């Protein structure tokens, strides 16, 4: 073991999550490179470190630090170096030199005990003197706090957030009510707070613990799409989570309602419980939908005659329901247009756009995902954006708490348009719908387009279905399959699936193939052959554009197993491909990966052939797929290229946001379209093997669907009408407001 002592000249790299740091330490003109985990450190500080000296093949000699201690600067040169390093705001090198020249070796005692004397130095006011002193003390306090929080297993990054939120108060909060952190700090959930409380010795029947556990149960339910839970289910789930009797939980519900943390309502003869923010999201959305739903003044005869002229000019022929959709779009503040594949939704939207154009109306188009927006642009010839871009998401890039993240377009700064058309509305959850509605003034037409038989949104709510089921809005459902579409077995069989009809899987088809295999390994072998050899030439696409989709994450045909196997065949390891293992996943240069959570503030850029950035922005969203282009083990960064050549750098701590995407769940395919899809068909949980799941998968294919597996299981899925019940109250809120008006 070696010992070195010196001042931190430069921090070369720091992982704020675990404190892993690479820094240069200077002592008497000699520079050392130190690597290790440092609780909290800044440039200019004095450090005594103990560790092993090693020879890195690329970066040369460095010390791997075992233990270290931050010391107060002992000589005047070290004091001057620390004060002038930038660690203290407002103190540069020149001022640091004047302070040390005035107080010499007594400088740090003066800073801590007599800070007012700093005003004796030229250029330092009394106010500035106190600010400098406070900063020195705060840095000392922060170091102590970080070390204290580390004892409870809290990461460096989270410890910094906790200190920023509470300052010196954090000691009392940790010891008395750590559950407060779950309310105040993003990244601290109930389970982390509960583990800290256990270490501190807080009782399991603590009021703080029970109330936090109830909210945790409700917010966990939102990850399954629910906006509320029936009271009985909430009590059962909370009791199991907290390991306390239901009666102890029940008595707190009324108090939490009085504190406005819960809303309790009566629905279908039973009490239901909302986390208050979700109740008010539904209520506000219902009110805004009602306000948009107003009638226009244009006589229907005028619309019909203009439409006939438009059809002749564009050489299109509309059926009765499509004509009705155009008429309602012109004369309705709110229209829902729904229908399956091949029923003419795109033709109808295009006709509506042309009609609005002829009236010199301003039109905006959007969809929930980048892929869906790109498809909408291709289908209409008009620029379509993601809803997030339409609403001008804004904030502070790099701030992981998303502090300040908000939409610039809202009730105070609404969208400047006569009509807004949203595609793939089945994917829109209650959070995004509320934000969209805030940005649309009554008088602006809102046209919502979607297939109600698709899977519902990943986020909470059942927005499109609730709106249709309320029977309070104009809904046009297209049902006729057009002649051109009838030539596609994908379209014909999708409608058969939706109707629960039997499909002849032995029929020869150009675009709907079923390959019979009984054994899981035989299914995987057939899938690899299809993706590697057969399909790329058949659909004129590369292997990364062909998507394998499966109902489940776990099991023989689950995403996790499939991706591990497919990676070995489609992107095998080689000496010229760097890789990084994290969270049990190997990430390799050339891998296809998917973003699995919305990250509104991650930065992307587009570079020209010389590597110079030509465009930049923020935001990568749940379901976006890309290819790993570079892995930098020294900087701990992985570069991923997404659609439209957008390059994003992920630090290793962000890899939990990425997973391999050779195979994805059918849920993750929503809003996307692929040249070909390959679907393994094998036994799985009945709640997943449903009609709307296989319907969604089949309708994702543009040119070819290949199902591989057991025919009987495919038919069981077609017959299984059960859908996982979603607890959502938007329909009730809409009906209540409609009744009151």
CA distance 279 to 183: 18
The structure tokens listed for 515 are 């390959």
CA distance 215 to 252: 11
Which stretches does DSSP call E strand in 15-59?
A: 20-27, 30-37, 46-56
Instruction: Count Cβ atoms below 10 Å from residue 611 Cβ, excluding itself.
Output: 6
Determine if residue 342 is labeled as part of a ligand binding site: yes
CA 474 to chain centre: 32
Mind giving me the DSSP string for 530-591? IIIIIHHHHHT--TTTSEEEES-SSSTTSHHHHHHHHHHHHS---TT--EEEETTEEEETT-
396 contacts 424 by C-beta, under 8 angstroms? no
- Give the residue from 466, 440, 406 showing the smallest Cα distance to 288: 440
Report DSSP state, residue 295. Answer: B
409 contacts 415 by C-beta, under 8 angstroms? yes
Determine if residue 172 is labeled as part of a ligand binding site: no
The structure tokens listed for 246 are 């239901």
Q: How far is CA 497 from CA 9, 340, 427, 658, 700, in A?
A: 67, 11, 20, 33, 14
For residue 216, the SS3 value is: helix
Report DSSP state, residue 517. Answer: -
Q: How far is CA 484 from CA 22, 283, 302, 488, in A?
A: 63, 43, 31, 8
Determine if residue 346 is labeled as part of a ligand binding site: yes
For residue 508, the SS3 value is: coil
Handedness of CA 338, 342, 346, 347 (dihedral sign): negative
Determine if residue 377 is labeled as part of a ligand binding site: no
CA distance 272 to 262: 10
Annotated binding-site ranges for ATP: 342-346
Annotated binding-site ranges: 342-346
């Amino acid at each position: 073991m070696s010992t070195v002592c010196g001042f931190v000249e430069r921090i070369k790299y720091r992982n704020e999550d675990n404190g892993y740091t690479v820094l240069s330490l200077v002592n008497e003109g000699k520079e050392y490179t130190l690597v290790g985990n440092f609780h909290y450190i800044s440039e200019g500080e004095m450090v005594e470190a103990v560790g092993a000296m090693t020879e890195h093949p690329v970066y040369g000699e460095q010390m791997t630090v075992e233990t270290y201690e931050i010391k107060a600067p002992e000589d005047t040169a070290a004091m001057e170096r620390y004060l002038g390093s930038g660690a203290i705001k407002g103190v540069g090198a020149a001022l640091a030199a004047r302070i040390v020249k005035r107080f010499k070796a007594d400088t740090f005692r003066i800073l801590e005990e007599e800070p007012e004397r700093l005003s004796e130095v030229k250029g330092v006011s009394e106010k500035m003197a106190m600010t400098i002193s406070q900063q020195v003390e705060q840095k000392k306090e922060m170091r102590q706090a970080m070390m204290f929080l580390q004892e409870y297993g809290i990461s460096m990054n989270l410890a910094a957030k906790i200190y920023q939120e509470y300052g010196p108060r954090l000691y009392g909060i940790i010891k008395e009510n750590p559950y407060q952190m779950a309310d105040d700090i993003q990244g601290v959930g109930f389970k982390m707070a509960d583990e800290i409380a256990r270490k501190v010795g807080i009782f399991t029947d603590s009021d703080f613990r029970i109330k936090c556990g109830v909210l945790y149960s409700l917010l966990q339910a939102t990850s399954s799409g629910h906006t509320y839970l029936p009271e009985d289910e909430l009590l059962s789930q909370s009791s199991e989570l907290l390991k306390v009797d239901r009666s102890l939980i029940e008595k707190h519900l009324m108090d939490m309602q009085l504190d406005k943390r819960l809303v309790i309502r009566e629905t279908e003869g039973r009490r239901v419980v909302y986390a208050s923010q979700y109740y008010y999201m539904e209520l506000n959305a219902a009110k805004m939908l009602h306000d948009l739903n107003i009638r226009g003044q244009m006589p229907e005869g005028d619309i019909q005659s203009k439409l006939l002229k438009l059809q002749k000019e564009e050489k299109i022929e509309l059926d009765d329901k499509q004509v009705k959709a155009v008429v309602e779009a012109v004369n309705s503040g709110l229209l829902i247009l729904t229908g399956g594949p091949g029923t003419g939704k795109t033709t109808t939207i295009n006709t509506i756009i042309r009609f609005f154009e002829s009236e010199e109306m301003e039109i905006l188009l959007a969809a929930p995902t980048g892929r869906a927006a790109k498809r909408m642009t291709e289908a209409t010839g008009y620029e379509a954006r993601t809803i997030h871009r339409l609403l001008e998401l804004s904030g502070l890039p790099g701030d992981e708490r998303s502090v300040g993240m908000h939409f610039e377009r809202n009730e105070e700064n609404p969208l400047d348009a006569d009509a807004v058309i949203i595609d793939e509305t089945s994917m829109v959850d209650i959070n995004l719908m509320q934000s969209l509605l805030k940005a649309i003034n009554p008088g602006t037409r809102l046209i919502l387009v979607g297939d109600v038989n698709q899977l519902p949104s990943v986020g909470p709510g059942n927005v499109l279905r609730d709106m249709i089921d309320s029977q309070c809005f104009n809904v046009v459902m297209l049902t006729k399959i057009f002649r051109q579409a009838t030539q596609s077995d994908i379209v014909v069989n999708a409608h058969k699936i939706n109707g629960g009809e039997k499909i002849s899987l032995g029929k020869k088809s150009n675009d709907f193939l079923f390959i019979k295999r009984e054994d899981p390994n035989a299914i995987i072998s057939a899938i690899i052959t299809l993706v590697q050899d057969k399909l790329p030439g058949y659909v004129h696409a590369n292997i990364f554009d062909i998507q394998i989709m499966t109902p489940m994450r776990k099991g023989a045909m689950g995403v996790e197993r499939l991706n591990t196997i497919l990676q070995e065949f489609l992107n095998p390891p080689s000496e010229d491909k760097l890789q990084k293992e994290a969270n049990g996943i190997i990430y390799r240069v050339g891998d296809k990966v998917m973003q699995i959570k919305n990250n509104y503030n991650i930065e992307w850029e587009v570079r020209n052939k010389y590597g110079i950035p030509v465009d930049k922005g923020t935001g990568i969203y749940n379901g976006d797929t890309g290819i790993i282009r570079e892995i930098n083990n020294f900087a701990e960064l992985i570069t991923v290229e997404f659609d439209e050549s957008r390059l994003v750098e992920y630090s290793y701590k962000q890899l939990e946001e990425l997973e391999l995407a050779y195979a994805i769940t059918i849920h993750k395919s929503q809003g996307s379209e692929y040249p070909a899809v390959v679907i393994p068909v094998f036994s799985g949980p009945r709640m997943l093997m449903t009609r709307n799941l296989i319907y969604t998968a089949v309708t994702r294919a543009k040119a070819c669907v290949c199902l591989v597996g057991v025919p009987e299981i495919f038919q069981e899925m077609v017959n299984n009408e059960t859908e996982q019940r979603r607890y959502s109250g938007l329909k009730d809120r809409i009906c209540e407001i409609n009744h009151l008006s």
